[in-house]
Amino acid sequence: MRNAADIDASPRTPHMRRVGVAVRFGIALLVPAAAVVLHELGHYLVHVAFGYPVVSLSYSDVSTGPAPAGVDTRLADGLAFAAGTTVSLTLVLVALVRRVPLALGAALVSFELLRAAIGTAIGVSNKGVRALWGGVGELRYLATAFDGWPPIAGGLLGLIELGTPIVAAVLLWRRVPHGERAGLVIPALVGTAAGLALWLQVVGPLVLP
């Protein structure tokens, strides 16, 4: 009979590996709901701070009534877009903290990669490759919120929004032992994609219409 030391030192069984993959997939499945709500909450709070009388937070966006008298709508909208994206990029940076479990970190980074890819695809499909010059994603709106910012500023802000999760993914990838990468990355990618679809199509409209 093996003693406790032998058991602790033994490699994980196939069953334990399957349980680990299932747990990682479950974590990734839940991340999109929290990430989307926090992102939209960033938009919401900025509009509230500007004194909008009607601000509504839903599962996938924020709607507002007319701007209060004296409020620069361009500035308010630009800062609101930037606030939501700042929340999302902060979650990516949190994923790199070593005390954050790798499964959660991988899910956070995977979701932001997915969000950035969707934003890029939408921008390019609407305007072609030239959309990259003006910036893709939401952070680019910060460049239009202030007078005198050059056109290239939107492109640089878009590059920050797109590049941050890519850099984070590389750093996180290097932290994971070689033999464990597939078991961490695949559940994160599949889980966040499934979780986003589940949130937008089923759960979100029921919980936060």
Q: Average pLDDT in the 94-120 region?
A: 94
Report the 10 Å Cβ neighbour count for 159: 16
pLDDT tier, 2 (very low <50, low <70, confident <90, very high otherwise): very low
To the nearest 10°, the Cα dihedral for 179, 12, 21, 117? Answer: -20
- In this prediction the pTM is 0.88
pLDDT tier, 8 (very low <50, low <70, confident <90, very high otherwise): very low
Whether pLDDT at 70 is above 50: yes
**Radius of gyration of the chain from Cα atoms?**
20
pLDDT at 125: 76
In 3D space, the residue among 179, 36, 180, 170 whose CA is nearest the CA of residue 109 turns out to be 170
Which tops the pLDDT comparison, 50 or 153?
A: 50
The residues with which 62 forms a beta bridge, in sequence order, are 57
To the nearest 10°, the Cα dihedral for 108, 45, 117, 180? Answer: 0
Q: Which backbone phi and psi does 3 adopt, to 5 degrees?
A: -90, 180
CA distances from 150 to 52, 86, 123, 139 (A): 29, 21, 19, 15
Instruction: Name the H helices within 72-151.
Output: 73-95, 102-127, 131-134, 141-144
Q: Are strands 62-64 and 55-57 parallel, antiparallel or unpaired?
A: antiparallel
Which tops the pLDDT comparison, 114 or 12?
A: 114
Whether pLDDT at 17 is above 80: no
pLDDT at 148: 84
Question: Max CA-CA distance within the chain?
Answer: 80
